[in-house]
Amino acid sequence: MQDLIDSLRQTVGAAHVLTEGDLSAYELDWRKRSRGKSLAVVRPGSTLEVAAVVKTCAAAGVSIVPQGGNTGLVVGSTPDDSGTQIVLSLQRMQAVRAVDAANLTMTVEAGCILQNLQNVADQAGFLFPLSLGAEGSCTIGGNLATNAGGTQVLRYGNTRELCLGLEVVTAHGEIWNGLSGLRKDNTGYDLRNLFVGSEGTLGIITAATMKLAPRPAATLTAWAAVPSLDHAVTLLGLAHQHLGAGLTGFEVMGQFALSLVAKHYPQQRVPLYLDTPWCVLLENSDSESETHARERFEHLLELAMEQGCVSDAVVAENLAQAHALWHVRESISMAQAEEGLNIKHDISIPVSRIPEFVRHTDALLTQQIPGVRLVNFGHLGDGNLHYNVQAPAAGDAAEFLRTQEDRVNTLVFDAVVAHGGSISAEHGVGSLKVGHLEHYKSPVAMALMRSIKEALDPQNLMNPGRVVQVANAGF
Q: For the residues 183-200, what does the mean pLDDT come to?
A: 95
C-beta of residue 110 within 8 angstroms of C-beta of residue 140? yes
Strand order in the sheet with 17-18: 17-18, 38-42, 85-89, 64-67
Q: Please state, rounded to an integer, the average pLDDT across all residues of the chain.
A: 94
CB atoms within 10 A of CB 376: 23
Percent of the chain whose predicted confidence (pLDDT) is above 90 = 89
11 has a pLDDT exceeding 90: yes
pLDDT 10s digits, 324-352 = 999 999 999 999 999 998 999 999 999 99
Which of the pair, 168 or 469, is modelled with greater confidence?
168
DSSP code, position 34: -
pLDDT of 229 over the 80 cut: yes
Indicate whether 354 pLDDT > 90.
Answer: yes
Predicted confidence at residue 292, as pLDDT, reads: 82
Output the pLDDT for position 265. Answer: 96
Confidence check: pLDDT of 30 > 90: no
Is 280:250 a contact under the CB 8 Å cutoff?
yes
Q: Quick one: average pLDDT of 100-122?
A: 97
| pLDDT score of 358 more than 70 | yes
Q: Is the pLDDT of residue 166 over 80?
A: yes
pLDDT at 31: 82
Q: What is the mean pLDDT of residues 167-193?
A: 96
Query: Is residue 297 pLDDT above 80, yes or no?
Result: yes
Determine the average pLDDT of the residues in 357-371.
Answer: 96
pLDDT for the residue numbered 66:
98
**What pLDDT is stored for residue 133 in this prediction?**
85
User: Over pLDDT 70: what percentage of the chain?
Assistant: 99
pLDDT of residue 93: 98
Residue-wise pLDDT tens digits, 41-54? 999 999 999 999 99
Say whether pLDDT at 256 is over 70: yes
Is residue 474 scored above 80 in pLDDT? no
CA distances, 26 to each of 22, 36, 423 (Å)? 9, 9, 27
Residues of the chain with CATH 3.30.70.2740: 340-418
Location of each CATH 3.30.70.2190 domain in the chain: 218-333
Topology (CATH level 3) of domain 2-89: 3.30.43
Indicate the helix (H) or strand (E) that contains 363: helix 354-368
Average pLDDT (206-211) is: 98
pLDDT over threshold 90, residue 33? no
Rg (CA), the chain: 23
Determine the average pLDDT of the residues in 242-248.
92
- Domain range 96-214, CATH architecture: 2-Layer Sandwich (3.30)
Comparing 26-35, 57-66, 443-452, which segment has the lowest mean pLDDT? 26-35
Q: What is the mean pLDDT of residues 246-260?
A: 95
Q: How much is the pLDDT for 32?
A: 82
Arithmetic mean of pLDDT, 104-114:
98
Q: Is the pLDDT of residue 397 over 50?
A: yes
Say yes or no to pLDDT of 57 above 50: yes
Please report which helix (H) or strand (E) contains residue 259, including its range.
Answer: helix 255-264
* DSSP character string of 290-342: HHHHHHHHHHHHHHHHHTTS-SEEEE-SSHHHHHHHHHHHHTHHHHHHHH--E
Torsion of CA 421, 425, 338, 224, to 10 degrees: -80
Q: What angle do CA 367, 368, 374 make, to 5 degrees?
A: 75
CA–chain centroid gap for 116, Å, is 17
Pick the CATH number of 340-418 from 3.10.180.10, 3.30.70.2740, 3.40.190.10, 3.40.50.720: 3.30.70.2740
- Residue 202: is its pLDDT beyond 60? yes
Average pLDDT of 64-88? Answer: 95
- 122-142: per-residue pLDDT in tens? 999 999 999 988 899 999 999
pLDDT at 94 over 90: yes
Q: What is the pLDDT of residue 239?
A: 96
The residues of the chain that CATH labels 3.30.465.10 are: 96-214
Q: How confident is the model at residue 472 (pLDDT cuts 50, 70, 90)?
A: low
Could you tell me which CATH number the domain at 218-333 has? 3.30.70.2190
Predicted confidence (pLDDT) at residue 173 exceeds the cutoff of 80? yes
Q: What is the pLDDT of residue 475?
A: 45
Residue 444 has pLDDT above 80, yes or no: yes
